[in-house]
Amino acid sequence: MIEVKDLYYTYPTGLEALKGISLTVNDGEFLAVMGQNGAGKTTLVKHFNGLLKPTKGEILVDGVSTRDVSVAQLARNVGFVFQNPDHQLFSETVEEEIVFALRNFGFEKAVIEKQVDWALNLLDVTQYRKTSPFMLSGGERKRVALASILAWDPQVIILDEPTIGQDHQQKEKLQQFILQLNAQKKTVIVVTHDVEFVAECSPRVILMSQGKIVVDGTAKKILTNPKVLAQASIVPPQITQIFLELADLGLPTDVIDVHEATKILLNRLRKRS
């Protein structure tokens, strides 16, 4: 469980990036952190594994204040997948890349071998085991980066902007994968401003703007409220926009999912004919 208590953070440059954030993320929860660029999303989640320490306030991860433990200790339970895989890949082979963290955490050799096989398989990159990560495509590099973090099986997984720069097929795969993780009782925290992605995964959503949380609620509640979304410069999903515009026809205004929308429209059409 992650408890954020009245968190303030000011960067050394003097910029106050977080202004009084309070939030609890329960075990096994799926949370999306949304908001426009510069809202403070990355700054907030960097507190969850201790990369940043509160200027004021407190973060408790499983009851322990992040001030009292090192990043390496926190990272064992809280995996953080950075936005750009090129900020972490450095090894000669994909396999080495995955071993890196496991070795840092002091796993036994036999365990390392097992976990590497498992992670390679999980992200479908086994065929690149001996390939240099620099030779892979963008999507593959992203998957290797993910594998290198999931390999130590952290309980909490944070993903910063995972869908940026991915083609549709990769996005679809990634989405399935993230849902699967959450189904396995992992706590998943995704930083994103991809509304379609949030609409399809339907997690709990917090909307941030200028270092504060504007609203906290279900994806359905937040994505269908254009007024609230506008505060964070986010536009509702297209399907929601259609239903909002057709509200006069008596259509529901809280639709975010394409399948749900299809069903409602089909029913309508059937009734007519």
Ligand X SMILES: Nc1ncnc2c1ncn2[C@@H]1O[C@H](COP(=O)(O)OP(=O)(O)O)[C@@H](O)[C@H]1O
Contact residue for ligand X among 4, 31, 41, 203 (CB under 6 A):
41
Q: Applying CB under 8 A, which of residues 69, 71, 215, 258 lies at the interface with other proteins?
A: 71
x/- string (CB under 6 A) for ligand X, residues 16-35? Answer: -x-----------------x
Query: Which of residues 190 and 256 has its CB atom nearest to Mg ion in the complex?
Result: 190
Does position 15 interact with ligand X (CB under 6 A)? The reply is yes
The reply on whether position 98 binds ligand X by CB under 6 A is no
For the CB of residue 202, give the shortest distance to ligand X in the complex, in Å.
22
Is residue 219 close enough to count as binding other proteins by CB under 8 A?
A: no
11 near other proteins (CB under 8 A): no
Nearest to 221 by CA among 212, 229, 233: 229
Give me the sign of the Cα torsion angle 45, 50, 55, 58.
positive
Q: Which of residues 30-49 bind other proteins (CB under 8 A)?
A: 46, 49
143 binds ligand X (CB under 6 A): no
Tokens of 233: 């410069």
| Residue 13 binds ligand X, judged by CB under 6 A | yes
CA distance 103 to 231: 44
CB of 213 to ligand X, least distance (A): 12
- Return the number of the residue (17 or 94) whose C-beta is nearest ligand X: 17
Phi, psi dihedral angles at 8 (to 5 degrees): -120, 140
Of the listed pieces 86-94, 110-118, 226-234, 265-273, which binds other proteins according to CB under 8 A?
86-94
Written as six digits, the tokens of 129 are 């085991």
The residues that touch ligand X, with contacts defined as CB under 6 A, are 11, 13, 15, 17, 35, 37-43
Residues in contact with other proteins by the rule CB under 8 A: 46, 49, 51, 70-72, 75-76, 79-80, 82, 84, 86-90, 100-101, 104-105, 134, 148-149, 152
